Amino acid sequence: MDRDKLVVPYPDADVVRSEIEAIVSRSMPPRQTFIAYMARMLREVGLRHLFRDWTELVYVSLTTIVIVALMLTAYLSSTAPESSMMYVLLFSVSPVLYLTIAIIFFAGKRDQDTYELEMVCKYTVYQLAALRMTVFGAVAVAVNTAMIGVCVWMMPELDVVKGWLVTTASLTLFGGGFLALMRYSSSKGMRLVYVGGWLAVNLTLYVWHELFYTAVLERMPLFGYAIWIAAGVYGMTRALSALITIHHKEGYI
């Protein structure tokens, strides 16, 4: 009797290639686009549960907005408000609302007892945080736009478009910076450092506001702002996407 020898039927090279492609695309799938995923999460979780703490959010937001408004109005009502200083002011106050809310409400939820349980749900703490920040980013832009409107009304020399570009650019810059920071460090200390750094930058800007205004804010063409904002939005989207897929790193705890 002729015994069959054990021979391994290795697949052909092209079969192997297609297998490898299948493996890679299945295990490293091009992720559902950020927007699509956010939309789905928003639909399934709902705004009411997403902003469970909406009363506190509103309270803090209103307080912040009032303070900022008072500051701006104070300047606008002073003896000789200059439009150059105004742009610089707008540049510095625009991220305040977003950063305040981000620092107080979105960052560092790991110390709570609810963390463990909520991490094992379909939508984890990090993913919800990403959605909250996305939604709130949109809110911040809306608030800024309203703020510009009021300022232009009070100081007609201000250019609405430029004002909007300046505030949005600043928001994406500092907001994005904060998100990038959060991705690598969740310590309260680092957050303070960031706020401190931002304050330092702004103080410098005040002192040299003429210089900053002429050198940067005025010279920048509209197109330049567009690129700056696009880059900022891209950066923020990347950082938020990382939050969504954070599990790729070592566990959560």
Q: Which residues bind another protein (CB under 8 A)?
A: 3-6, 8-11, 16, 19-24, 26-28, 44-46, 49, 52, 112-124, 128, 247-253
Sequence-distant (6+) residues with CB within 8 A of 192 are: none
Are the beta carbons of 130 and 244 closer than 8 angstroms?
Answer: yes
Handedness of CA 115, 117, 118, 122 (dihedral sign): positive
CB of 138 to another protein, least distance (A): 21
Shorter beta-carbon distance to another protein: residue 115 or 228: 115
Q: By C-beta, is 69 or 104 nearer to another protein?
A: 104
Six token digits for residue 132: 């909250």
* Of residues 44 and 218, the one with the C-beta less far from another protein: 44
Annotate 37-55 with b (16+ C-beta within 10 A) or e (fewer). bbeebeeebeeeebbeeee
Give the shortest CB-110-to-another protein separation in angstroms: 12
For the CB of residue 118, give the shortest distance to another protein in the complex, in Å.
6
State the nearest-atom distance from the C-beta of 116 to another protein, in Å.
4
CA distance 246 to 249: 6
Nearer to another protein, 47 or 150 (CB): 47
In the complex, minimum distance from the CB of residue 144 to another protein, in angstroms, rounded to a whole number? 30
Query: Closest CB to another protein among 110 and 188?
Result: 110
What is the Cα–Cα distance from 179 to 99, expressed in whole angstroms?
Answer: 10
